[in-house]
Amino acid sequence: MIADVKPRKFFMHNPFRPGEIVSLPGEFFGRDEEIRALTRSVKQGRHVAVAGPIGIGKSSLVSRLRLELEGFATGDRCGSVLTVGHKGIASIDDAAHLVLSEFVTVDGETEEFSVNVGSKIGFRFSSKVAREYFKEGRHLAVLQEVLLKHAPEHTDLLLIIVDEVDKCSIPITQMFRAILTKLQFEEVKNIRFVFAGVGSYLQDMMKEDQGIGRFLAKPLSVNPLPPDDAEDLISTKLEQISDAPENGDRKLEFSASIIRRLVELSGGHPQVLQYLGYHLVEQEFEDPDGVLSVRDLIGSFRRICYEDRGYIYDPLIHKLRQEGMLESLKVLFYAGSRSPPTYISRDDAINVCDAGTLEWFVDNDIFILAHNGYRLVDEFIRVRVLTEVEDESIVSIEGRLLLNGAYVSEEQQFKDDYLDDYPIDSDSSEPLDDDWDDE
């Protein structure tokens, strides 16, 4: 009698990094067009703003831009200062201090100012006026002196990057305007601001000061990854596991179908993609059979929807209820494609929703405009809506999507209840083909 032998575990260093900011080669995938557009704008003297929903890759994009403009380990003199906004920033001087604290310090004994921007820019200066301003908390005046009188002598280009601007958009706007005006008067041309944040923060900035718009390049909205880039990300990371030296001659098997299924389920959303890959690898480690397959994804939907990204979906579902938009979102889902990525043609969307509702979904980063229609930004929002509104088990939704790659559940009854009055062309609601990247 031959005893069953449980497969030996592979070396399973998990290369998926959900929630981490990435920028280095081997970790950062795609976004070539976005990087080119941002780099061109900065080099042409424009300040730039990047926006998008949580987890879409804004911070990683800005971090990559920073490396590109610094020239990696070259002799370029370009430097950058990166700071992160928060709700404690309440005034223009708070905003200035947020930036100052990242690259300027004051010597307690000599009271000299030290300015250090990475390894490329470093100098010291003395200023009695600046010391007094600093003691009085007039940080905007200090920042203006650093940027106007001292930094231009030591760098070809200085980036001031502010992430999470949505947390404190008004003080950041006021600081930006004050510094921008001074730079214009003094003809200092080598300082650039790069802003990044969630949702409509730029609209809030423009409401505070419409004049800043003429100094900003066209805002860049960060969308899900196109299929080719998403597949490249997954296959590269899975190959890192399979080819790990610790595994010897053994190869951890995975197929093109599991890669495609991960891309479809995530809709190209970078953070969701990372979570799916992470759980795929962890499950294989816990229960190894030598093959990365759909079987290893069982249970991942619940963890992603209610644990990993629950902090995003819970308040979103609450907001949809409060704004009376949850039912409209449900109608849109059933008017659209039956498989991820969720797409609704413009005609079908207009048939079941008014223009104001559609605009609300776009403004709140639930849908993006794509291919003469609307595409869901995060596919797992649909999963949560099905569980919340239909009171359907997430296990059954997960099973259908993993086995069939499609949403099918009492659909005809739903149509009978909601869509009888709306003639929908079934052909226009079919899933998109492989080329479903955004316009």
Whose CA is closest to 159, among 284, 329, 11, 43?
Answer: 43
pLDDT at residue 78 in the model: 78
Amino acid at 309: R
Q: Give per-10-residue mean pLDDT for the chain (439 aa).
A: 53 83 87 94 94 93 91 68 95 96 84 80 83 91 89 81 96 96 89 92 94 92 94 92 70 86 94 95 87 90 94 95 94 91 94 94 92 93 88 87 78 43 36 39
pLDDT at residue 119 in the model: 67
**237 CB contacts (<8 Å, ≥6 apart)?**
15, 16, 277
Burial of 72 (0-12, 13-18, 19+ CB in 10 A): exposed
pLDDT at residue 289 in the model: 84
Give the whole-angstrom CA distance, residue 391 versus residue 127. Answer: 66
**Greatest CA separation found in the chain?**
89
pLDDT at residue 2 in the model: 47
Q: Taking a C-beta distance cutoff of 8 angstroms, is the pair 196, 119 a contact?
A: no
pLDDT at residue 10 in the model: 57
For the record, the structure tokens of 153 come out as: 């002598």
The pLDDT tens digits for 316-357 are: 999 999 999 999 999 999 899 999 999 999 999 999 999 999
pLDDT at residue 421 in the model: 41
pLDDT at residue 272 in the model: 95
DSSP secondary structure letter of residue 216: B
Predicted model pTM: 0.84
pLDDT at residue 141 in the model: 94
Give the whole-angstrom CA distance, residue 56 versus residue 220. Answer: 13
